[in-house]
Amino acid sequence: MAKFNYYRRDQLTPIETDDSTPAGRQFITDLESAGYYQDKGRAIRESESFVGGSSYTAPASTTTSTSTTEEEAINLSPNQVYLRLPWLKSYAGDNADKLVDAYIKGFIEGDGSVTAAVASMRELPEYQTVFPGIVNTETGAIRMSENSYVAGFEQVKASLIGNGLGGYAKQKGREVYATLVTNQVSPNEYINRVQTVRYKIFDRMDEGMKQNVVSAYNDYYSNELGEDVKLDESSILALAMDPNLNTEILQKRLNASELGAIYTTEIGQDVSLERIQEFTQAGITLGSARNQFSTAATTARLLNTMSRRQNRISTVGTASNVLEATLFKDDNLLDEIQAIEAQNMAASSVATSSYTTQSGQVTGLTET
């Protein structure tokens, strides 16, 4: 097990990661894809010299500004804004473009003032949707900069993922962090709480006692729901940290959230709660999900490769469609899979050694 700290020019507070779990390793991959790195010195230098850095100071304006500078200010583009605010696109999601438009409007109307640009962005209703809790509702003041807000959230998210709570982080992470900001609880204080709860509940127990605790929870919820419930240590840890989850467990949402996190990790796409519930009804469990989703993703890649070699326009080259075929027995998709296999076997360009089971599952796809 190894722990690493990650930084970026807009993120000088370290994001601590842990590579001891699959979720932790995936989070490290996501951070590196988003431009984070372990060199703190580099982050400090770039924060001071690059636009968008947390310590960046723009050159002072003068009365002798050229027409070119004025023209650049007037024509500030969305891409330039995303360079200034590198966290915005991934963090703000569907609201990112609205915030960017407001930033540009404020920048232009403020004669190139970054302060005016940020103030314009903060006036949007969507701003508080993206940054819940950042505005003190009593005074109207901003509690912290947007950079600090996102950095704090990433710290909390990394801690939850590192403790095996990826599903909880995805479902409740922003809500939890907004509450922390509103109540002026620092990320480090919350992280210490998570670690303390884990220690008190599981870390000081032997394996047999852990299993007894897990079994007791599962028995209780199974009796309440009238069906078999399979919670694991992470679900029980989340419940201990957030008692309000009791209602959500009884509504079967926590298991679905954990399955959704596994789906995103293995397939690389988000999935709706409704879709995950359909997977659950089709028989996918927390114990089997990782293998089934990973197999679907691998099968989809092979089918996609085969289709390209056959110059075939195919709809089965995605993991979601493979799952549709194997879990829900979609006849059209199964026929298409079989046709792709048959053509490849005839051409001897791909050795599949595959067959379709009575349950409709495609097995044995192997590319040569």
Q: In Å, what is the CA distance from 194 to each residue of 184, 211, 241, 294, 296?
A: 17, 20, 7, 30, 34
Q: What is the pLDDT of residue 350?
A: 41
Range of the domain at 20: 3-59+68-146
Token look-up 């729901």 returns: 225
pLDDT band of 259, cuts 50, 70, 90: confident
Mean pLDDT of 20-29: 75
Residues 6+ apart with CB under 8 A from 69: 112
Residue that terminates a domain, selected from 127, 146, 165: 146
pLDDT confidence tier of residue 122, bands split at 50, 70 and 90: very high
Q: What is the mean pLDDT of residues 345-356?
A: 52
Averaged pLDDT, 352-366: 46
Looking at the DSSP bridge assignments, the partners of residue 132 are: none
Domain membership of residue 228 (yes or no) is: no
Query: Taking a C-beta distance cutoff of 8 angstroms, is the pair 112, 61 a contact?
Result: yes
Name the average pLDDT for the chain.
Answer: 79
Specify the length of the chain in residues.
368
Domain contains 173: no
- pLDDT on residue 51: 61
**Six token digits for residue 101:** 């438009």
pLDDT tens-place string over residues 163-177: 888 888 888 889 999
Q: Name residue, tokens 């109207």.
A: 140
The whole-number pLDDT of residue 254 equals 66
Neighbouring C-beta atoms of residue 292, cutoff 10 Å: 21
Q: Give the per-residue pLDDT at 73.
A: 40
Is 364:353 a contact under the CB 8 Å cutoff? yes
At which of 105, 130, 146 does a domain end?
146
Helix (H, G, I), strand (E, B) or coil at 65: coil
Q: Long-range contacts of range 285-294, CB-CB < 8 Å, 24 or more positions apart?
A: 285/230, 286/230, 286/232, 286/255, 286/258, 286/259, 286/262, 287/230, 289/259, 289/262, 289/263, 290/22, 290/262, 290/265, 290/266, 292/323, 293/262, 293/263, 293/266, 293/267, 293/319, 293/323, 294/266
pLDDT digit string (tens) for 57-90? Answer: 655 543 334 443 444 445 678 888 888 888 888 8
Residue 304 phi, psi (nearest 5): -65, -40
DSSP notation for 175-222: HHHHHHHHTT--HHHHHHHHHHHHIIIIITS-HHHHHHHHHHHHHHHH
Q: What is the mean pLDDT of residues 294-298?
A: 88
Whether 107 is in a domain gets the answer: yes
- CA dist., res. 159 & res. 179, Å (int): 16
Decide which of 104, 129, 146 is a domain's last residue: 146
> Is 103 inside a domain boundary?
yes
Residue 307 lies in a domain: yes
Q: Which residue has the higher pLDDT, 52 or 292?
A: 292
The pLDDT of residue 23: 66
Lowest mean pLDDT among 141-150, 259-268, 359-368: 359-368
Cα–Cα distance list, 22 to 217, 230, 265, 312 (Å): 25, 20, 9, 35
- Assess if residue 40 is contained within a domain: yes
Block residue for tokens 């939850």: 160
247 within some domain: no
Rounded average pLDDT over 323-341: 84
Answering whether pTM is above 0.95, one says: no
Q: Which of 202, 193, 192 is nearest to 235 (CA)?
A: 202
Query: How many domains is the chain built from?
Result: 2
Most confident residue range from 8-22, 41-55, 179-193: 179-193
